[in-house]
Amino acid sequence: MVQQVVFILIAIFTLGMALGTVISRKLFHAALFLVGTFAGVAILYVLLEAEFLAVSQVIVYIGAIATLIVFAIMLSRSMMDKESGAVNKQWWAAAGGSVLLFAALALLLSKVPFATTSAAVPDDTIAKIGSQFVGVYVIPFEVVSVLLLVAMIGAIMLARERHG
């Protein structure tokens, strides 16, 4: 009961923030709304008892990605807010499409009976995650390091100020 109320409040908060992100005209405000959305999703993860993911969500999305976005906004900002209109000409089609997509998904999801279990989350979940990184999922684990390396090199190449 309490959990359901908390869930509904968090859901309203998260969706409101997400709407603010896509609607707000000022880019910095959009970024702050995005931070709010990420925080709401992190609380949802806590409700799902995925505490490691909840803190990772805050660390990576709020601490890193949102900061990166704000920095990029500041770097390219002089053109930003003066451009006419936040949305393009097909925005109404996009809105209609999104609403339709949501209606279809919601209908579908409420019809499908998912086989759920009420098993509890084991205490050593984080240790299991860690041993799977270097066990079953060692290839994706190493590929992620390569991906991050490539992303870092590529982004430095792109963003660096060239002198002379």
Partner 1 sequence: MAIPLTWYLILAAALFCIGFYGVLARRNAVPILMGVELMLNAVNINFLAFWRYVRPEEPVGQVFAIFVLAVAAAEAAVGLALIISIYRTRKTINVDRIDLLKG
Partner 2 sequence: MDLSSLDLRAIGAWFHNLLMGTGMSAMLVQFIESLVGALLLLIFGLTLVIFLIWLERKLAGRIQDRLGPNRVGPYGLMQTMADALKLLTKEDVTPFDADRVTYNLAPALAVFHVIMALAVIPFADQVIAADINVGVLYLMAVGAIGSMAALMAGWASNNKYALIGGFRVVAQLLSYEIPLVLAMLIPVLVTGTMRMNGLARAQGDYLGLGWFVWTLPLAFIIFFIASLAEVERAPFDLLEAESEIVAGYNIEYSGMKFAWFFLAFFMNSWVLAAIGATIFLGGWQGPFVDQIPALGVIYFFAKSLFLFVVQAWVRTTFPRLRIDQMMSFCWKFLVPMALVLFGFVAIILKLHLPSPWEGIILLLSNVAILLVGLSFLGRSQRKAVYASKRAFTPTIPRM
Partner 3 sequence: MLQQYGLIGLLALIAIAFPFVTVGFTWLIRPKRPDPIKNSTYECGLETIGDTWVQFRAQYYLFALIFVVFDIEAMFLFPFAVAFNSVGLFAVIEAILFIVMLAMGLVYAWKKKAMEWQ
Q: Which chain residues interact with partner 3 by CB under 8 A? A: 3, 43, 46-47, 49, 51-52, 56, 59-60, 63-65, 67-68, 71-72, 74-75, 77-78, 121, 126-131, 133-135, 138, 141-142, 144-146, 148-149, 151-153, 155-156, 159-161
Angle formed at CA 11 by CA 8 and CA 14, multiple of 5 degrees: 150
Tell me if 139 contacts partner 1 by CB under 8 A: no
Q: What would the x/- binding string for partner 2 be over residues 9 to 28, using CB under 8 A?
A: -------------------x
Residue 146 CB, nearest distance to partner 1 (Å)?
10
| Nearest alpha carbon to residue 57 among 44, 73, 69, 72 | 44
Q: Say whether 43 sits in a helix, a strand or coil.
A: helix
Partner in contact with 139, chosen from partner 3, partner 1, partner 2, none, beta carbon below 5 to 8 Å by kind: none
Q: How far apart are CA 123 and CA 121, in angstroms?
A: 6
CA 134 to chain centre: 26
